[in-house]
Structure 1
Amino acid sequence: MALLLGGGSLFMHLRQQGTLVTVIADRADGIKAGKTRVKSHSVDVGVVESTRLSDDLEHVVMQLRLKPGVSRLLSGESVFRRVEARAGPEGVTGLETLLRGDWIALEPGGKGPRPAAYRLADGEATASSRAKGVRIGLTTPDAGLVQAGEPVLFQGYRVGQVEHCALDAKARQLFCRAFIRAPYDHLVTTRVRFHKEHGVAMAAGASGIHLKVASVTTLLSGGVSFDLPQGMPSGVPVKNGAMYALYGDREAEEESRFTQHTDYVMYFEDTVRGLLPGAPVEFRGVRVGTVSRVPFPGAGEAQLLHEDYRIPVAVRIEPGRLVGMAEGDADAREQMDALIRRGMHGTLKIADLVTGALYIELDCCGKGATSGVQVTSSGYPVIPSLKGGLIQVQQGLLSALDRFSALPARELLTQATRTLTQGHQTLRDVQMTLDALNRTLSSPAVQRLPADTQQTLRTLQGTLQSVQPGTVAYTRMVADLQRLNQALLQLQPVLSTLNSRSNALVVEEKPEADPVPVAR
């Protein structure tokens, strides 16, 4: 009975103590036995009980005492992670550890038996193994392109996070694991493409200088963006472990779509300064290819370095860029050969006067038609080229400079100096005239003119008011005018007589005799 009681007491004591978990770490700075807490979802679930060096003196072995009932969170997929103050793509995290010290986060797992010891993980927290979503792999030859903790974006909206990045020394590539949470995991299909999203990107090329500024969030943290190329079918959703190539930017991702191409060589007598790999090859303004090598050492043609030396340039004709052009290598080659036989040729054109970037312009046809397509000794077909595009521009500039230098500069400068001197004298005369006018306007006599004029207007106004209807002067004036009118009416017969007989006032008019009746 005593043994049963003792065993029961020991069992209850061990049960109340909780589960003891062994965790192996590379370092123990910031971890203190009896003080460093273990938390799950920010809830205290245990404490670090002890720390010691491993037998090989290479690692730190920590004993974590978890509270009763917490052992249900442990499985083969559970993760213990150190939480400390850290500056990363998402900003500064773990600031509370500056006051309370580092702590250990327990991320519950889903399946699998519990191991004898766990490995303490460092870095940003990852999604739980029980979280719904999809985990994919990203590979890129640029080791510094992306880092753990950066967001995964779909059309600018955050849908996941880069969980882990490691450099594969053998493959010389950076491998990253990213998690896209549900319900956005169905957006990751077999057709999507991933590229690095830069906050600020500036590029200078054949199409000019481009400056792109992303949103404030992307500007601060960057990120990895994915989308479905325009015009492509959506594809089917992928499962965990799907691998994708990560491109440096959207332009690189777009260029990678044109995998089918036919290689050609072009020889130019013009200077190729400004013609860089990646410059467009256009056919009547539509891009049909890309410059791949400048100069191209694989042309296999031996030339002497003299005035007729031609610089070989390798170009790729990409039929997928031109709607209606055959996609197959053989069909595209046949169409290009037919155009070359009809006289298609290429010339160098200036794409940007500021940067001096060049591109190749193809044109057709009728000039220099041939019966066949020339092939280099190394097997590359040749697209004929014409010189004169850049040379004409250069000759025009030189001609303009010659005409400018031929101008009588000394005489022009002398005449310009004389004109400026006369202009200065004219300005001084105008200034003197303005000064005299100002003195006249500011004289006392001119200043009194407004007052005298105002007094005259007042007098005139008073005079006009005295002859308004209703006044005595107005009544008298009307009566005088009426009497004058009556007198003129009385004089009218006299004036009529004088008008007909001017001597009527001196010679009396004889009276007319009475008429005598005459017998019939």
Structure 2
Amino acid sequence: MSDQTPPKAEVSPIRQLSLIWLVPVVALVIGFWMLIQFLASKGPEITLKLTTAEGIEVGKTEIKALNVKVGVITDVKLSDDYNSIMAVAQLDKDAERMLKTDTRFWVVKPRIGKQGISGLETLLSGAYIELQPGVQEEEQRAFNVLDTPPVAPLDAKGLRLILSHQEAGKLSVGDPVLYEGFTVGRVEKVSFDTQSKKANYQLFIFEPYDSLIRKRTRFWLSSGVELKMSAEGFNLKIGSVESLLTGGVSFNVPEGSEPGELVTRQMSRFRLYNNQNEVRERFYDQYLEYVMLFDESVRGLNEGAPVEYRGIRLGTVSKVPLRLPNQSKGFSNQQIPVLVRIELSRVLEYVDTRNLQELHDNLSLQFSKGLRASLKTANFLTGQLMVDVEFYTEEPLPSALTYKDYDVFPTTAGGFAEIQKQVASLLDKLNNLPLETTLSELNQTLAAAEKTLKSAEQAARSVDALMAQQETKAIPAELRNSLTQIQATLSSYGAEGAPYRNLENALVRFEQVMKELQPVLRQVNDKPNSLIFSDSKGKDPIPVAGE
């Protein structure tokens, strides 16, 4: 049997990469690519400071710009001092260009405010944070969320102004800005300057109403309802419905003032006045100051009372009293000094220093002609007084021309004071009358009258007794019989009586006799001696013709 060895195969290892490893490699590459894409598409992360976290939920509360989602809230926590809420928001890449120093955020939720009802769509979807893009160049990543929506966007067309006032709390964000009762803007921001110790109110005037703002425009608080009781009576003004509920600020150019140049510069500053009357009073800034010395009571004369000349207002009462009388000399014969301002701009359109000097010289001349001031009742209902200026030529010149470095405006007793003096004089005369003697004589007269009345009463009783006698009662019957006889006698002399007929017959016969005597009377009238000499004459011969 022969040995046969089997052949051996030679094995050599082959080095190669398994395809199974491609799977993790591909997965790693995809993951790395996705990471790069995620980092490339990831927007900035910002921090928002809120006063409250009401309605804010992590992962749900969105950040929108013009109702387009640009981010979401990723974290909410308290601040280090526990006074506010710090929220972290992740924004989209495209929102990075919106984050500027003037970018504004606010929470959109249901609100009932001065501008109406807003945010009703969030009742179902929940609150969200609105982003208003900024326009500045500098970027920012931390912002304060506004408590209320802004009045207008930063790029809105209009004019922004700043009003200053000594007191804070006069206006609030959203209050209307009114011109002749029409809303032309809103209060946009309220702040307080600690250095100047003044409150600043930022307004936004919408276009085209910004053209109403002039250099001499004045702003004042509008309370909606303004009731003023002054020497001129009661003055009630009612504004718009919105101003009744929220108040606001009004503006206009004072009457009689030039409007001035158009204001175009943003953030121009103006003063905020308390009311329109204060604006009018501040307009009369050119005036002369005088002191009026009154002998009567100044009760009812208040600061701001008018100084008028025949119904035309010339000035204003500034201070009542200017100073108290010198008490070291007592109060006897002490006059009450009142400081007044004579405001020339109330009657002249243009006033300068030269006009004021001319006015001063003119008034001094008028004082010598009898120009005097007196107190008069301006309102009988309120009892307030005013100063009336009129000419009293019989009044003497004042003894004092100055008082405490002020020129004196001569005064005279007012109408009411004159009435008081007349009443006092009448009372003095009544007191000086001999009332006791008069009363004594009056008592004597009354006693004598009483005796006379008693005598008259006794006489009346005597007459009653006389009338009660039978003889006195018979007198009327006899008197009636006598009157009847007289009437009968008078009747016999009537047209039917015999004496009347006899007289008528006699008159007829007398008339006949007069007719018969008429020829005799004519003859006697023609020839008075006819009764002595005969009137017979021969007839004149009648010539006869020859035979």
The whole-number CA distance in structure 1 between the counterparts of 2:304 and 2:42 is 68
Question: In the alignment, is the contact (CA less than 8 A) between 1:22 and 1:61 conserved in 2?
Answer: yes
| Among 129, 145, 152, the residue aligned to 1:120 | 145
1:245 paired with 2:271, answer yes
Q: Which amino acid aligns with 2:148?
A: G
Write the deviation string for residues 337-362 of structure 1: whole angstroms up to 9, x where unpaired.
33223332110111111111111011
User: Secondary structure of the equivalent of 1:360?
Assistant: strand
The whole-number CA distance in structure 1 between the counterparts of 2:236 and 2:333 is 40
User: Secondary structure of the equivalent of 1:381?
Assistant: strand
Higher CA-based Rg: 2
Q: Give the 5 Å matches for 1:396-415.
A: none
The whole-number CA distance in structure 2 between the counterparts of 1:106 and 1:182 is 24
1:79 paired with 2:86, answer no
Question: In the alignment, is the contact (CA less than 8 A) between 1:342 and 1:366 conserved in 2?
Answer: yes
| Among 368, 386, 409, the residue aligned to 1:341 | 368
Q: CA deviation at 1:202?
A: 0.6
1:392 paired with 2:418, answer yes
The whole-number CA distance in structure 1 between the counterparts of 2:104 and 2:59 is 21
Question: In the alignment, is the contact (CA less than 8 A) between 1:133 and 1:183 conserved in 2?
Answer: yes
Q: Which amino acid aligns with 1:259?
A: D
Aligned residue number for residue 155 of structure 1: 180
Q: CA deviation at 1:96?
A: 5.4
1:32 paired with 2:57, answer yes
Question: In the alignment, is the contact (CA less than 8 A) between 2:110 and 2:122 conserved in 1?
Answer: yes
Q: CA deviation at 1:396?
A: 7.8
Aligned residue number for residue 361 of structure 1: 388
User: Secondary structure of the equivalent of 2:406?
Assistant: coil
| Among 261, 272, 276, the residue aligned to 2:287 | 261
Q: CA deviation at 1:94?
A: 4.4
Please give the root-mean-square deviation of Cα atoms over the aligned residues, in Å.
3.2
Q: Which amino acid aligns with 1:281?
A: V
Write the deviation string for residues 120-161 of structure 1: whole angstroms up to 9, x where unpaired.
222342322211211111012243322221011222222211
User: Secondary structure of the equivalent of 2:177?
Assistant: strand
Q: Give the 5 Å matches for 1:20-419.
A: 20-55=45-80, 59-86=84-111, 88-91=113-116, 93-94=118-119, 101-238=126-263, 239-297=265-323, 304-323=329-348, 326-328=351-353, 329-364=356-391, 366-368=393-395, 370=397, 374-376=401-403, 378-394=404-420
Write the deviation string for residues 29-51 of structure 1: whole angstroms up to 9, x where unpaired.
44222222323334443321111
Q: Give the 5 Å matches for 1:473-484.
A: none
Write the deviation string for residues 334-388 of structure 1: whole angstroms up to 9, x where unpaired.
3333322333211011111111111101123534464997111x20111111114
The whole-number CA distance in structure 2 between the counterparts of 1:340 and 1:324 is 24
The whole-number CA distance in structure 1 between the counterparts of 2:398 and 2:230 is 36
The whole-number CA distance in structure 2 between the counterparts of 1:118 and 1:361 is 63
Question: In the alignment, is the contact (CA less than 8 A) between 1:347 and 1:386 conserved in 2?
Answer: yes
Q: CA deviation at 1:206?
A: 0.5
- Tell me, which stretches of 5 or more residues in structure 1 are unaligned? 402-520
Q: CA deviation at 1:289?
A: 0.8
User: Secondary structure of the equivalent of 2:190?
Assistant: strand
Q: CA deviation at 1:100?
A: 5.2
- Cα 1:268–1:24 change in 2 (3 A) is same
Deviates more, 1:301-310 or 1:139-148: 301-310
User: Secondary structure of the equivalent of 2:280?
Assistant: helix
Question: In the alignment, is the contact (CA less than 8 A) between 2:45 and 2:141 conserved in 1?
Answer: no
Question: In the alignment, is the contact (CA less than 8 A) between 1:21 and 1:117 conserved in 2?
Answer: yes
Question: In the alignment, is the contact (CA less than 8 A) between 2:63 and 2:130 conserved in 1?
Answer: yes
Q: TM-score, normalised by structure 1?
A: 0.69
The whole-number CA distance in structure 1 between the counterparts of 2:63 and 2:234 is 53
Q: Which amino acid aligns with 1:81?
A: W
Deviates more, 1:243-252 or 1:96-105: 96-105
Question: In the alignment, is the contact (CA less than 8 A) between 2:254 and 2:279 conserved in 1?
Answer: no
Q: Which amino acid aligns with 1:244?
A: F
Aligned residue number for residue 38 of structure 2: 13
- Cα 1:219–1:18 change in 2 (3 A) is same
Q: CA deviation at 1:109?
A: 1.2
Q: Which amino acid aligns with 1:176?
A: Y
The whole-number CA distance in structure 1 between the counterparts of 2:149 and 2:300 is 45
- Cα 1:373–1:127 change in 2 (3 A) is farther
User: Identity, % of aligned pairs?
Assistant: 34
- Cα 1:84–1:288 change in 2 (3 A) is farther
Q: CA deviation at 1:296?
A: 1.3
- Cα 1:84–1:333 change in 2 (3 A) is farther
User: Secondary structure of the equivalent of 1:217?
Assistant: helix
The whole-number CA distance in structure 1 between the counterparts of 2:359 and 2:127 is 64
The whole-number CA distance in structure 2 between the counterparts of 1:114 and 1:5 is 34
User: Secondary structure of the equivalent of 2:216?
Assistant: coil
